[in-house]
Amino acid sequence: MGEWYFFLAPVAVLAALLLFRFIGCDKVFGLDEMTYGHTYPQEVLSDGPASYWRLQEKPPPMTSPPTPLPPAKDEMGLSPGTYGQAPSPIAADSPHRSPEASPIILELGVTTPQLLLTDTSASALKVRGGFVQVTVPLGSPLNSPEFTVEALVLPDPTLVQTLGRYHCLIESSDPGTPQPTVQQKKLGYAIYAGPDDPTQPQSPYHWQLWVGTGTEFQRVKEITPYNPPKNEKNEPNPGPQVVIEPTYLAVTYDGSTFLLYMYRPGSDVLFVKYQLQAPTPASYAANAGGGDLFIGIVGNRRALFPPFPGPNRFLYPFWGEIEEVAVYGKALTEERIMSHMHAALGL
């Protein structure tokens, strides 16, 4: 027992010091929410997610006829997903700023490169036109008035080499009451990688939260200048830029404040949390309509940009690896986010 204490004590001290920098001295008493020595799934499950898809299913054996793909298991047992792929290569759609997917990629059980860095036995889902689709019933806890959405992700290097497009990591959206002439999504939430400035398509890709307001679907942009603007080395805060490294992502909404967290190994913990500007003129409107949730792509008629409602095909395919997707019906505290980050990628 004493030997384990001796080993874990420096880890706890390091986490405490980082926490001082991450959330500030005014919240340090939240240290009792930090946990150490847990696996990443243990951390997630201890916070009671509404659904948790690890996306670690193994590919079925090669048979003739082909063996069906397994379901994407929900660790909470409520909302299993279905693996699927676009029926044919997806062409780029410039008006809607949607990328191509050619050839189509849907690979289960990917272990190289590693994404969950604290578990060498873990695997990921690799997609480019592949996806997971979850049928969401009315009143599902996946569509709570408050939420946290988190995932581990590793973009493909080609994603940042082709600017001006938007890539969907996860989306739960719905148009609500259909209009007779224009049907546009107006409810729910989504995480995208896309140009930081939509008026400048060649601007660097940032991780982005989009939400429905009841009348439209809009980006909830980071508040600038970033806080803090620089670290102790006088290095500027880069914002939540998309980087080709294993990345922990989370977005939270507690009924009034939107936050985005992005962490990758070696990140300065001062550059992890970003407060987002609430949408105007209305705030967040949950997806009460029960439209399907997608991981790695989004379904037809769900364009981000006009003309609406968008083409009758899949849009915004993600390029890269995804695993450990969880949705909570509450906003996790910064201390719990810190615990998840550490359990996933180390510090």
The CA distance from 337 to 249, in Å, is: 10
Handedness of CA 116, 142, 198, 234 (dihedral sign): negative
- Which DSSP symbol is given to 77? S
Question: What mean pLDDT value characterizes the chain?
Answer: 89
The pLDDT value recorded for residue 66 is 84
- Which DSSP symbol is given to 265? T
In a domain, 8, yes or no: no
The pLDDT-based confidence of 331 (bands split at 50, 70, 90) is: very high
Question: Which among 316, 334, 275 has a CA at the least distance from the CA of 166?
Answer: 316
> Is the whole model's pTM more than 0.85, yes or no?
yes
**Hunting for tokens 């939430």 — which residue is that?**
189
Q: What is the mean pLDDT of residues 59-83?
A: 93
In a domain, 17, yes or no: no
255 conformational bin, left if phi > 0, alpha if psi -120 to 50, beta if neither: left
In a domain, 258, yes or no: yes
Q: Taking 70 as the threshold, does the pLDDT of residue 132 lie above it?
A: yes
CA Rg value for the chain? 20
In a domain, 14, yes or no: no
In a domain, 5, yes or no: no
The pLDDT value recorded for residue 8 is 40
The pLDDT-based confidence of 62 (bands split at 50, 70, 90) is: confident
In a domain, 29, yes or no: no
- The range of the structural domain enclosing residue 48 comes to 34-345
Number of domains, the chain: 1
The CA distance from 268 to 251, in Å, is: 19
Q: What is the mean pLDDT of residues 262-271?
A: 92
The pLDDT value recorded for residue 47 is 98
Is-cis flag, bond preceding 113, omega within 30?
yes
The pLDDT-based confidence of 18 (bands split at 50, 70, 90) is: low
- In sequence order, what DSSP letters do the residues of 170-228 get, joined into one string? EEEEE--SPPSS-----EEEEEEEEESSTTSTTSPEEEEEEEE-SS-EEEEPBPSS-SS
Q: What is the mean pLDDT of residues 192-220?
A: 94
In a domain, 15, yes or no: no
The pLDDT value recorded for residue 20 is 53
Q: Taking 60 as the threshold, does the pLDDT of residue 205 lie above it?
A: yes
In a domain, 174, yes or no: yes
The enclosing domain of 80 has a CATH number of 2.60.120.200
Q: What is the mean pLDDT of residues 168-195?
A: 86
Name which residue leads in pLDDT, 64 or 94. 94
The pLDDT-based confidence of 280 (bands split at 50, 70, 90) is: confident
Q: Taking 70 as the threshold, does the pLDDT of residue 153 lie above it?
A: yes
